[in-house]
Amino acid sequence: MNYDFLDSDLLSRLGALPVESRMPMVGNVAGKHRSPHRGSSVEFAEYRKYVPGDDTRRLDWKAFARSDRFYIKEFEADTNLRAYFVVDASGSMNFAGEGESKVEYARRIAASLSYLLVNQGDAAGLSLCTEKLHLEVPPSRRAAHLQRIFETLKDLKPEGETGLVPALHQIAEKIGQRAFVVILSDLFTDTDELADALQHLRYRKHDISVFHLMDPQEIKFDFERPHRFVDLEDGTALVVEPSLVAEEYQTALGEFMTKVRDKCHDANADYQLVPTDTPLEPLLREFLTARLPKGK
């Protein structure tokens, strides 16, 4: 089945770039991502002193010859990556001032990265959140699972107020193992509450990436005549002469975006402000390249 938010040519061009974790992961099958546990993969990690009960096959006899002491070789255990794509499904994500809406852009990012993850043998899952609904598609490595993610994204119809913060807390509590959590939202929520949710994810040792989606008109606010502005989440409306409020708006917006960025950085989250007129391919290519381990 074809989906208009998937670009097969783009996926083919990005296919050579792996989706990497920035920190050790814990999975349930052997994979290519670093684990916090020691195992027996080919990449050497460190020596430690032998203690009774250790596997003597892992003794380093060369180290013994040099020091007359027994040392065990430890290696990095490899594991698979489990990703959760958290898509804000509140009404404000419907806004499309110039080009596609924020939710359409979020669909394309979530679908593209999900495809790349499953294609490399890792697991992808999806969470859609409004104030009243938290719909979840659990992570899976099966190729057939992708269609469920794509169908869920296709049927997504944002409405109501955001439920992003409760959804993030729920995900932090529910995920028993370290995971890659990708947040796709305009982040129109209380920044202190958002910070608490991000810190909750950080405490659970998850790898967090935030795509802060904003329409260019929301950033520039370059309206030239009176407009009726409608809150897409609660439906309230206000008629405004833009020239009278533009300066105050830009100040408030700047403070909001700075605070959001700082809260993300405080939680060790990978933060990107993404205007929705940004071409998708260079955005994803830069995102994937920046996550590669040094030296690759």
Q: What's the confidence (pLDDT) of residue 115?
A: 95
Q: Report the alpha-carbon angle 22-288-163, nearest 5.
A: 75
pLDDT (0 to 100) of residue 184: 98
| pLDDT number for residue 98 | 74
Q: For residue range 217-269, list pLDDT tens digits in order.
A: 999 887 776 667 766 677 787 777 777 788 898 999 999 999 999 999 999 99
pLDDT digits (tens, 9 = 90+) for 111-134: 999 999 999 999 999 999 988 778
**DSSP string covering the chain:** ---TT--HHHHHHHTTS----SS----SS--SEEEEEEEEEEEEEEEEE--TTS-GGGB-HHHHHHHSS-EEEEEEEEE--EEEEEEE-SGGGG--SSSS-HHHHHHHHHHHHHHHHHHTT-EEEEEEEBSS-EEEEEEE--TTHHHHHHHHHHT----SSB-HHHHHHHHHHH--S--EEEEEE---S-HHHHHHHHHHHHHTT-EEEEEEEE-HHHHH----S-EEEE-TTT--EEEE-HHHHHHHHHHHHHHHHHHHHHHHHHTT-EEEEEETTS-HHHHHHHHHHHTSPTT-
Domains of the chain: 8-21+80-287 (3.40.50.410), 33-79 (no CATH)
pTM: 0.80
Residues of the chain with pLDDT under 50: 27-45, 75-79
Quote the pLDDT of residue 204: 92
pLDDT given at position 77:
42
Are the C-beta atoms of residues 113 and 122 closer than 8 Å to each other?
Answer: no
